[in-house]
């Protein structure tokens, strides 16, 4: 009866009901902003940039030269290549990128091979020192999404986390060699939540969702604790928690760690879409912790990618979308950072901790 009444009311007011809304699939939803407001094109970063979080995306000298051309156009002075690798794979990546002088800095991984065997730590330190002599300037990205360290090559380390006693001598040695350690712990919080009509990150949750049924899985808070313990136990080692330590939903968690540990920094890579929806809270966080945040991308090497990050950091633009770069349904906003904060985030903080 109610549907009939609604239908009659719609007809009387000249409104024709449509099934179009029901037929649009969420995965196909690509809204365009209707607001006639400020739209800023940022062709180049306002200040010189060091990108502390990238990977060996270019696979040939020609592609690397094209990447350098893009970096020049966008104002990126240097890019850190987080290779994950050790052994011959690290050497091959280093040999390709080191030919271009100071434009790239190559970091190695840890070799977890035989991590459950006696004497592994000494072997891993020996390989770390070898990579250092080859030219590695730091370590990373070390990754742990709950089941153990897995990013570094040639093999993962299931069940061993960054705070494991076996890792302690390695992390201490990094400090002695002045090699910063880039650590990825956890994932955005909505990856731990049910995929339902209340999940704020639904558009990406299915692809990245954490399977909480797996045994011995550490959840978000537990992984943050492993990071904190490693940082606390190694005051002489510089740590970079990449992607804001995946605390974009509550940056106060990261802020409390900053307040406690002077040897902890964070890169902002690949979490622009996660923080741009909350420009006032995120902007205030940048202002307060402007000495601890590092510019990074982790999203390839296309010119448009860089320009999007600059637009988010530099401008006060509101309610714009970047569907090709980010998979969420929400609109983005610029943080409108002040010049002092921009200079520090773009490169000055990185210069403090790089060799």
User: Where in the chain are the domains?
Assistant: 40-353
Taking residue 135's Cβ as centre, other Cβ atoms within 10 Å add up to 16
Q: Using CA atoms, how far apart are residues 271 and 226, in angstroms rounded to an integer?
A: 21
Residues ≥6 apart with Cβ < 8 Å to 215: none
- The 3-class SS string of 10-66 reads HHHCCCCCCCHHHHCCHHHCCCCCCCCCCCCCCCCCCCCEEEEEECCCCCCHHHHHH
Going by C-alpha positions, the residue among 48, 93, 56 that lies closest to residue 72 is 48
pLDDT of residue 20: 63
pLDDT of residue 84: 94
Positive or negative CA dihedral for 322, 327, 329, 330? negative
pLDDT of residue 304: 97
Residues ≥6 apart with Cβ < 8 Å to 249: 188, 189, 190, 274
Q: Is residue 261 exposed (0-12), middle (13-18) or buried (19+ Cβ within 10 Å)?
A: middle
pLDDT of residue 22: 72
pLDDT of residue 13: 47
Going by C-alpha positions, the residue among 249, 219, 89 that lies closest to residue 153 is 89
The CATH number of 40-353 is 3.20.20.140
Burial 155-192 (b: 16+ CB within 10 A, else e): ebbeebbbbbeebbebbbbbbebebbbbbbbbbbbbbb
Q: Using CA atoms, how far apart are residues 326 and 209, in angstroms rounded to an integer?
A: 16
Averages of pLDDT over runs of 10 residues in the chain (355 residues) are: 48 53 77 90 97 96 98 98 97 96 97 96 98 98 96 91 98 98 96 86 78 93 98 98 98 98 98 97 98 98 98 98 89 98 98 90
For the sheet containing 76-82, what is the strand order? Answer: 49-54, 76-82, 104-107
- Classify strands 148-149 and 157-158 as parallel, antiparallel or unpaired: antiparallel
Compute CA distances 160 → 10, 157, 242, 254, 293, whole Å. 62, 6, 19, 23, 28
């Amino acid at each position: 009866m109610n549907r009939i009444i609604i239908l009659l009311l719609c007809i009387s007011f000249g409104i024709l009901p449509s099934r179009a809304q029901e037929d649009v699939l969420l995965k196909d939803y690509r809204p365009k902003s209707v607001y006639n407001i400020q739209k800023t094109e940022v062709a180049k970063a306002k200040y010189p940039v060091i990108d502390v979080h990238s990977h060996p995306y270019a696979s040939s000298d020609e592609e690397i030269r094209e990447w350098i051309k893009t970096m020049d156009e966008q104002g990126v002075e240097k890019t850190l290549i987080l290779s994950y690798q050790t052994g011959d794979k690290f050497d091959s990546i280093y040999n390709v990128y080191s030919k271009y002088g100071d434009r790239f800095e190559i970091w190695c991984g840890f070799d977890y091979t035989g991590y459950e065997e006696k004497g592994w730590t000494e072997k891993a330190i020996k390989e770390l020192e070898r990579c250092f002599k080859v030219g590695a300037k730091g370590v990373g990205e070390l990754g742990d999404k709950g089941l153990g360290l897995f990013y570094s090559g040639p093999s993962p380390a299931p069940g061993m986390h960054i705070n494991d006693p076996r890792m302690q001598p390695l992390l201490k040695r990094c400090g002695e060699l002045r090699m910063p350690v880039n650590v990825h712990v956890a994932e955005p919080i909505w990856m731990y939540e049910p995929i339902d009509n209340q999940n704020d990150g639904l558009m990406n949750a299915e692809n990245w969702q954490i399977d909480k049924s797996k045994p011995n899985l550490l959840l978000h808070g537990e992984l943050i604790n492993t990071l904190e313990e490693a940082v606390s136990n190694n005051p002489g080692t510089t740590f970079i928690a990449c992607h804001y330590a995946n605390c974009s939903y509550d940056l106060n968690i990261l802020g409390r760690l900053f307040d406690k540990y002077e040897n902890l920094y964070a890169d902002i890579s690949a979490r622009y879409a996660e923080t741009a929806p909350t420009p006032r809270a995120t902007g205030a966080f940048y202002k307060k912790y402007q000495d601890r945040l590092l510019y990074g991308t982790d999203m390839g090497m296309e010119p448009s990618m860089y320009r999007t990050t600059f637009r988010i950091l530099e401008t006060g633009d509101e309610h714009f979308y970047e569907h090709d770069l980010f998979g969420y349904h929400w609109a983005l906003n610029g943080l409108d950072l002040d010049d002092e904060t921009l200079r520090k985030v773009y490169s000055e903080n990185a210069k403090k901790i790089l060799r």
